[in-house]
Amino acid sequence: MTSTETAVTAEQVPAVVRQVVRLVAPQPPAQVGNDHQLIGDLGFHSLALAELAFTLEDLFGLDAITPERAMTLQTVGDIVTLITEAIGAGQARVPDGDDVQAFCAQYGAVWDPGTPR
């Protein structure tokens, strides 16, 4: 596949975020929704939360998420909002499809933009 075939659009950013959360989650469901609680529903603990933060920072080109900001992130929807607002403000970027695919491959998954997350 070429980068053109795997290009990620701004509209797909929430699906990318949900896929990242699902793959990193200690207790992943088949699909992750915006209302899933990071700790209560998905089993995140401090180490898994740190891995999630580093992954999102790398994939989306975010500055480090401050501990104060991290404390406000309770649900997957909170993370989606954080990322989409950062992209809108020019503080993050939409990831390249090849980067998303490479991340997914690390977890034995395939990025398929047409599949619900």
- The pLDDT score that the predictor gives to residue 5 is 54
Residue 2 has pLDDT above 50, yes or no: no
Determine if the pTM surpasses 0.95: no
**47: DSSP letter:** H
- Please name each of the domains of the chain with its CATH number: 10-106 (1.10.1200.10)
- The pLDDT score that the predictor gives to residue 1 is 41
pLDDT in tens, 48-95: 999 999 999 999 999 888 888 888 999 999 999 999 999 999 999 999
| Contact (CB, 8 A) for 113 and 21 | no
pLDDT in tens, 7-52: 799 999 999 999 999 999 999 999 999 999 999 999 999 999 999 9
How is residue 61 written in tokens?
Answer: 């080109």
Angle, alpha carbons 70-76-79 (nearest 5°): 45
